[in-house]
């Protein structure tokens, strides 16, 4: 029996380094009430979260996070994003959602880069 190649296509591979980020955030889908989610990881291009909802791929949303404490304290940022994938994870007790960021504001990019150590 032949096993198919399980390596993701080049277009599906992460393009930036991600770093673990465990915190609560607020995910707001277009026209909906914000939902509290748990963050998994973060990069300058996107983040992974776990939620009780299963948004369809391609959904536009906003993610509100407080960047971890820095020399000047935590900075709250809201970032426009698109849902890339959402799949149920029994291990995480919710839907693992991959978000791809839209255009970052300078303050959001600075906060993420400080957290990533870039």
More confident residue, 109 or 5: 109
Backbone φ and ψ of 96, nearest 5°:
-85, 120
Mean pLDDT computed over every residue of the chain: 84
| pLDDT at residue 6 tops 50 | no
| pLDDT at residue 8 tops 50 | no
- Report the 3 state secondary structure along 16-35: CCCEECCCEEEEEECCCCCE
Q: Domains of the chain, with CATH numbers?
A: 19-116 (2.40.10.220)
Model pLDDT for residues 60-108, shown as the tens digit of each residue: 999 998 765 555 556 688 999 999 999 999 999 999 999 999 999 998 8
What is the C-alpha end-to-end distance of the chain, expressed in Å? 45
> Which residue's structure tokens are 């426009």?
80
Q: What angle do CA 12, 13, 17 make, to 5 degrees?
A: 140
Three-state secondary structure call for residue 57: coil
pTM reported for the whole predicted model: 0.81
Q: What is the pLDDT of residue 2?
A: 45
> Which residue's structure tokens are 């939620």?
51
| pLDDT at residue 1 tops 50 | no
């Amino acid at each position: 029996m032949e096993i198919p190649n399980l390596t993701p296509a080049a277009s599906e591979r992460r393009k930036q380094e991600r770093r673990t980020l465990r915190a609560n955030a607020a995910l707001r889908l277009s026209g909906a009430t914000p939902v509290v989610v748990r963050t998994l990881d973060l990069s300058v291009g996107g983040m992974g979260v776990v939620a009780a909802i299963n948004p369809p791929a391609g959904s536009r949303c906003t993610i509100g996070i407080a960047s971890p404490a820095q020399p000047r304290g935590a900075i709250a940022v809201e970032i426009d994003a698109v849902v890339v994938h959402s799949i149920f994870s029994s291990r995480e007790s919710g839907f693992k959602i991959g978000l791809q960021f839209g255009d970052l504001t300078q303050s959001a990019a600075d906060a993420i880069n400080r957290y990533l150590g870039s």
